[in-house]
Structures are given as C-alpha cells and as structure tokens.
Amino acid sequence: MIRRYMTLLKAAMMVCDGLSAAVLFPLVYLVRFPVDSDPVAGQLGAVPVLGLAAAYGLLWVGSLWVQGLYRLRTHWSLRGEVVDVLRASALVAVSSLSALYILKLNDVSRVFLLMLFVAQPIVTVTSRVALRLVLASMRSRGLLSRQMLIIGAGAEADRFADEVENHRELGLTVIGHLIGPRDEPGGVRRPVIGSLDDIEKVLHRRVVDEVGICLSPEDWVYVEPTTRICEEEGKIVRVSIRSLGGVLTGGRYEELAGIPLVTFLYGPDRVMGMAAKRAFDLLVSATLLILLSPLLLAIAVYLRIREGHPILFRQERVGLHGRTFPCLKFRTMVPDAEERLAEVAHLNQVRGPAFKMADDPRVTRSGPWLRRTGLDELPQLFNVLRGQMSIVGPRPAPQREVELYSVWHRRRLSMRPGLTGLWQVQARGDPDFDRRATLDLRYIDGWSLWTDLKILLRTIVTIVHADGR
C-alpha cells in the first residue's frame, strides 16, 4: 500500500480508538461506582483510574491491531468492521479476565468489566464511522482531496486509475491521462487531456499533486526525463513497473492492489510532520485570532473611517500545487490599484516576476505604517485557519507572477504558502527574486517544526522593531 496515506490514516484511526477507549473507561467506572455513594471510588482517587484508563486505551489499540483493523482495505463494509471489533473486544475480555485470575485480583468488579466490554465495541464502531464520514465530507469539499495526472493511456494505465480511485482512503482523484508515444486513442475511460509532450503545459495550467506513469516497455526511455520534469515542479511521481519489467533506482518501492510501484518524492513528504504542521497552524491561527480580535476590530473601524470602503483587499493568489484562493489583507492601496498597475509597472524594483516599489503612488495614507508593522497581513490568519495558507511558508503570489516563473521557481508551489517565510527574515529587502526563491526552496527541502518556530520568532522581532516592508 502507498505508505504516505496509510501512515496518516493509521495514525488518525489509532488516536481516535485510543482516546475513545481511554475516555470510556473512567466514564463507565463513574457509572458503576459513583463517588458520592461508594467509598471504594473515593479511596482510589483520580490518578489510578486515569492511569488504568491510559493503559486500557493502549491495550484496546493493540487488540484492534492484532485483528487487522489498521490495514487499509479496498472494500470497506460496516458489517466487516463490526465483526472485527467484536473479535477485538472478545480478545481484550479474555486477556483481562485471564490476567485477573492469574494475579488473583478477585476484588475487581465483574459488573464493571461487563459494562466496559459491552460499551467499548459500540463506542469504537460509532467513532470509526464518524471519522470516515468526517473525512468523506472534507474530501467532498476539496479539503483533503489530491489530484493525480496519469501519463499513459493503455490498459495498464486504465487499471491503475481504477485502483487509485477505488481506494477512496487515499483521497486521490484522477484528473485525466496524457497519451504516451505508442498508446492508441480510446484506451482509457477517463479524459485524455493531451500527450506526453504537453506535460509542462498541463502541470502549469491544472492543479496536479501527483503524477502516475504507466507506459509500455517500449517507452521506458521517457520515464527518466518525465520524472526530472516533475522533480523540478515538486510533484510526487509514482511509476508502475509491472509492465516495464525494469529496475528504477532512487525511489521507494510500494504496492497498490498488486500493482508494484516506485515512488519518487520531491519536496516535503513527512506525513506525520506535515500533520503536526497543520495542527500547529490551527492552534496558532485560532489563538491569535482570539487574542488579536480587539486589534483587528480597531484597525477595521479606523480604516472604515479614514480610508472608506472596502476595508479588506481580496486578491486571487496561487497556493499549493496551483490551487487558487482569495488572499485577505487590510487594504493599504486605493480601490483601483490593480487596474493602475500598468502605470507603475516600469518602476518595479525587483529583478524577476515579482513586483515591488518604494513610494508607490497607489498606497493610501494609512498604508505605510500598516505595511511597516505587518498589521495589514493579519486577516490572512483566516486563510491559515481555512487551510489555504500556513503560518510559515513561501509567500503566495498572484497568478500573473506565477505565469512568469521559470520551471525551477514553480517548486515553491509544492508547499502551502505562508504568512511569513525564510526570505522575509533573512533577505527581506533583497531585490533579486531568484535569491528569494532559493531561500524558499532551502526552507522546503530542510523543513522542520523547529525551523517554523525560529522563523516565527524572528518575524515577531521584526514586527516589534517595525522593520517591515
């Protein structure tokens, strides 16, 4: 199975199962032994009960593991899930009763154990179904969905596309195929959106998170240059090697429904790390929005009185792998600033596709100090909360700038854009876009939560000293 997705889903299921068991244990205990009416409950205290609850949660997760409930399946059914959970419950019951007998712990309430072993499978099945429904809902809204482009339009490519979408837990959607040099038209049921020669154009115009390569053995020669192009774009590449019958080096061998794959990972693919980064983003953005809500309101009122409507500036920016989103800022320019860009384009002080100039005539009276302190960026915390941005990452660019990117610049899009980033704290005034992009790619390749924390702290220092742009 594709490890990237198996690891994350396994972790989510294990956390859900462990927490549900650890919470259920003391609840059942309190039902069986109310503190006000039973002296034994009062004597045990909270710490032993919580310690036993934690141990029970680990035991429950272990029993589900033994029953294979953390193996991803092609076809999931509620009946099969219930049967396996009941088997796990029976295993825990037999193990617990045997341990009590061997250790001669005759004073443990059998009624309590019976209540626990009856309630546990009900809670586990309910929580697992709820987790699947939440994941399905998020994917249907495009929050966890990822797009795959398949290179090849033969029978093997068609079967590979079927298996990818049959494994719904992967969250992958096949957007279409590129025809290989020896593929016959009409060999696949999904849209054919071009030929292999169109790969760069398709990667630039469509949202593509991953690329699958399913070419015939005669087309082996095209695999290496195709993966190199995808590497420059920061895409994950999965090569089906069954029909090729060859050996690829530098990749990771995996399997999908019996289809052997070699996966090439470009950019950050530390699944648990990325999940932790998202949790960090949610925690920080939610906390800051709560703490800074009076300041946000004060700035909004001030701008409404001094600068008029609108208060916020919304601009379509390009995010992760080409996804566009409305980036929010407090307005620091006149309302028709975008329409007047051509008037000042020749005054650009940045060498490269980005635009920046000192003393921009389109900036409002309040704009300079808002920009200098970075307060104009605060509404982007809502973008972070919605998953469109991260606290730390490459800055999001408008579409007109992305269209001017060189191929190697586009790897900036392989990570969710951020409120602040490495080049903002190391080379904020550097007018060379290539050097900025180099720092962004260095951040992507060496990412860690510790790096994010250091950049965030340095950004705070910059804001305090009002050294913003």
- Determine the pLDDT at residue 424: 84
Higher pLDDT, residue 97 or 316: 316
Q: Note if the pTM is more than 0.75.
A: no
- 188: pLDDT strictly greater than 90: no
Residues 386 and 308 in one domain: yes
- How confident is residue 163, by pLDDT bands cut at 50, 70 and 90? confident
Residues 438 and 312 in one domain: yes
Rounded to 5°, the CA angle 235-241-245 comes to: 150
Residues 344 and 440 in one domain: yes
Residue 453: its H or E element: helix 449-464
469 part of a folded domain: no
Residue-wise pLDDT for 189-226, tens only, equals 899 999 999 999 999 999 999 999 998 888 888 888 89
Q: Can you give the residue range of the structural domain that contains 454?
A: 271-464
**55-59, 189-193, 338-342, 389-393: segment of lowest average pLDDT:** 338-342
| DSSP count for the chain of H helices, then E strands | 17, 12
Residue-wise pLDDT for 172-183, tens only, equals 889 999 998 888
Residues 459 and 364 in one domain: yes
- How confident is residue 39, by pLDDT bands cut at 50, 70 and 90? very low
Residues 258 and 303 in one domain: no
- How confident is residue 47, by pLDDT bands cut at 50, 70 and 90? very low
C-alpha pair distances (Å), 425 with each of 56, 153, 328, 350, 466 = 47, 46, 21, 17, 13
Residue-wise pLDDT for 94-130, tens only, equals 888 887 778 776 677 778 888 888 999 999 989 888 8
208 part of a folded domain: yes
Domain-ending residue, one of 140, 172, 191: 140
- 1: pLDDT strictly greater than 60: no
163 part of a folded domain: yes
87 part of a folded domain: yes
Domain count, the chain: 3
340 part of a folded domain: yes
52 part of a folded domain: yes
Query: In a 10 Å sphere around its CB, with 0-12 CB exposed, 13-18 middle and 19+ buried, how is residue 199 labelled?
Result: buried
Residues 391 and 437 in one domain: yes
182 part of a folded domain: yes
3-state SS track over 172-211: EEEEEEEECCCCCCCCCCCCEEEEHHHHHHHHHHCCCCEE
Residues 283 and 178 in one domain: no
- Determine the pLDDT at residue 45: 44
- 34: pLDDT strictly greater than 80: no
Residue-wise pLDDT for 397-409, tens only, equals 999 999 999 888 9
Residues 47 and 85 in one domain: yes
Residues 22 and 94 in one domain: yes
Domain-ending residue, one of 140, 171, 187: 140
Nearest-angstrom CA–CA distance, 146 and 135: 13
**126-135, 138-147, 215-224, 360-369: segment of lowest average pLDDT:** 138-147
CATH number at residue 154: 3.40.50.150
Residues 260 and 326 in one domain: no
Phi, psi of 315 (to 5 degrees): -140, 135
Handedness of CA 420, 424, 429, 433 (dihedral sign): negative
- Determine the pLDDT at residue 44: 43
Domain-ending residue, one of 264, 289, 320: 264
Handedness of CA 186, 191, 194, 196 (dihedral sign): negative
Residues 307 and 417 in one domain: yes
* Nearest to 334, CA basis, from 303, 356, 357: 303
Residues 175 and 76 in one domain: no
For the segment 336-360, the average pLDDT, to the nearest whole number, is 83
Name the average pLDDT for the chain.
83
